Amino acid sequence: MMRIVLCMTFLVFTQSAWADGANVSTSAGFAPEQDALPVPPPDGAIVLFDGAGTNRFLSKSGDTVNWPIEQGSLVSARGQSRSNHIVSALHFRDADIHVEFMLPPKGPGNSGIYIHGNYELQILNSQGVKEPEMQHMGAVYGFAKPLVNAALPPGQWQVYDIRYRAPRRNDKLEIVEEGSITAWLNGQLVQKDTRFGEPRSVYHPYRYNTTDYLKKIWERQKKNQTGPVFLQDHDAAVRFRNVWVKPLDERAFFYEP
């Protein structure tokens, strides 16, 4: 049996809910500090992983994750068909998302951040790429290539800060207002007010090698526009640390088996 645990008493909101309406900007006033890593979570942020005992991620089946923790970092572990993703117990609608990561010294270092399971901020060894495309670091995979190539070499800590506004749906579950993403990578703006509608990838977690647990989340998500963030397995031992989410409205809660 699933249970929904409301956690409003644990969340401190410093921004009021955004009003619904077209052309809401996710870039206005969003200039995160990324010069010195790790970046401390701000007031109102919910820590998902800190390497010191807090780990609010679950497996795709809602069980304990099997990604190892090494030297305070959560390391992506290979699974069946490149789909051993992990999913946050925290669900939210609109939010700021912070993820620090390190690519392995060899290989493509392929991974990603699936926001609401549908929209992927790409992680990939893209250093030196002169004209990055939609498969390179900084892209919203399948929707928009990065504005610049901000990728650092493997073996260095890198950082994404993402402001996410979920698509709005009507009672028929049709998108009536596109979502929006603004993203900073390693101190450079890589996405600005990037709009998106229905998911495009056939490989996102709700479609490819999915589970009953994720199917329930997806059905609920379409109705309420609230969902988790995933860290992607794509056969690369990418390291993650200091992962936190700051909800931008009052809809965040924990959803656990």
Is 24 a domain residue? no
Is 117 a domain residue? yes
Is 20 a domain residue? no
What CATH number is attached to the domain comprising 230? Answer: 2.60.120.560
Is 85 a domain residue? yes
CA 147/CA 152 separation, integer angstroms? 15
Range of the domain at 69: 44-89+101-256
Average pLDDT of the segment spanning 14-30: 67
Is 209 a domain residue? yes
pLDDT given for residue 19 in this prediction: 53
Three-state helix/strand/coil letters over the chain: CCEEECCHHHCCCCCCCCCCCCCCCCCCCCCCCCCCCCCCCCCCCEEEECCCCCECEEECCCCCCCCCEECCEEECCCCHHHCCCEEECEEECCEEEEEEEECCCCCCCCEEEEECCCEEEEECCCCCCCCCCCCCCCCECCCECCCCCCCCCCCCEEEEEEEEECCEECCCCCEEECEEEEEEECCEEEEEEEEECCCCCCCCCCCCCCCHHHHHHHHHHHHHCCECEEECCCCCCCEEEEEEEEECCCCCEEEEC
Q: What is the pLDDT of residues 212-229, one digit of tens each?
A: 999 999 999 999 999 999
Is 143 a domain residue? yes
Q: Name the residue with higher pLDDT: 190 or 6.
A: 190
Is 229 a domain residue? yes
11 pLDDT more than 80? no
Is 57 a domain residue? yes
53 pLDDT band, cuts 50/70/90, is confident
How many separate domains does the chain show? 1
